[in-house]
Amino acid sequence: MGKDLAERFAHARQRYQEAADVLGFDLAAVCFHGPEDELRQTRATQPALYVHSCILTDLLAERDIRPAAAAGHSLGEYSALYAAGAFTFADGLRLVKVRAEAMQHAGQVNPGTMAAIVGLDDEAVARLCEEMSDREVVVPANYNSPGQLVVSGHASAVKRAVEAAKIRGAKLARELPVSGAFHSPLMKPAADSLAAALKTTPLKTPQIPVISNVTGKPHADVETLRKLLTDQLLSPVRWTQSVSELARMGDAQWLEVGSGNVLSGLLKRIVAGASAITIGSAADLDKLTEEAKA
């Protein structure tokens, strides 16, 4: 991930060097050469995704392709806020570093897991979580698209929710290979650490609308931004609502900037007739630039 960008663009190489200085390890080496087990650790995965998407955002801006509004799923909210000028690349990466390390630690202090549930409506999954809690935590964590949710909490409670979802007619219900119960109350230690880091991080009001994962509405003032980024670790990602809010702002070309095309698939399920162009490589940049010229 990102190797082709670093080979071709001096700006990408500079960003990876900045990342090494902030993180204290060679992120580029991990991204380009692995080992995969190291890249999959939260402390590496989150910075890797943030740096990659920020580089692409910068390279798009050099081509005079800039967002009119933005949203990002979980960690992606930081990339969206960077694109909106809410913080510098380095300050955003410092926050991501704290967030990643704190989430990894919280997953060890408060062990838990997550599971995907497909084919039940949002209200049914919320009710199911309430019923399966039984003095433990299991809550909706990601409202990814209508009928596609992720739940999060203590492993035994999540397992009960998976079995109950199957009985109630879910098309798919299975646990995910994650290192913690993200976007649930079990992330409280991580939220406390992130809140402390946010207090000392210079932030600016976003220059374009950036949709909050917590509210599904645009961020406003800086203090609210700090609170919502903290709350994000404890609250569900309201992606269906976030994308719907972007769609209400008017017709535009949708771009998915970063690694993969998962969000492009979700977009089609949320907004009828919508499709996105994925920008994850130098070749994608070239293609979009030619289309923009045409």
Average pLDDT over residues 115-134: 95
Q: What is the pLDDT of residue 53?
A: 98
Closest CA to 117 of 148, 156, 152, 157: 148
Q: Residue 20, exposed/middle/buried by CB under 10 A (0-12, 13-18, 19+)?
A: middle
Q: How far apart are the C-alpha atoms of 215 and 238, rounded to whole Å?
A: 7
pTM: 0.95
Positions marked active-site: 74, 183
Q: What is the pLDDT of residue 35?
A: 87
Q: What is the pLDDT of residue 273?
A: 94
CATH 3.40.366.10 fits 3-108+185-293, yes or no: yes
- The CB density around residue 134, as the number of other CB atoms within 10 Å, is 10
Sign of CA dihedral 201, 228, 241, 139: positive
Q: How far apart are the C-alpha atoms of 293 and 286, rounded to whole Å?
A: 11
Angle at 144 between CA 203 and CA 237, to 5 degrees: 35
For 112-176, give the CATH class.
Answer: alpha beta
Average pLDDT over residues 216-224: 95
Q: What is the pLDDT of residue 64?
A: 93
Bond preceding residue 146 cis, omega within 30 of 0: no
Q: How far apart are the C-alpha atoms of 36 and 237, rounded to whole Å?
A: 27
Average pLDDT over residues 242-271: 95
Say how many CA atoms lie within 13 Å of 11 toward its Cβ: 13
> CA–CA distance from 23 to each of 15, 98, 140 (Å)?
12, 10, 32
For helices 222-232 and 188-199, the axis angle rounded to 10 degrees is: 160
* Domain boundaries, given as residue ranges, for the chain: 3-108+185-293, 112-176
Q: What is the pLDDT of residue 164?
A: 97
Q: How far apart are the C-alpha atoms of 260 and 198, rounded to whole Å?
A: 28
- β-strands 254-257, 210-211 pairing: unpaired
Helices (H) and strands (E) in the chain, counts: 14, 8
Q: For residues 251 and 257, is the Cβ–Cβ distance under 8 A?
A: no
Query: 66-115: per-residue pLDDT in tens?
Result: 999 999 999 999 999 999 999 999 999 999 999 999 999 999 999 999 99
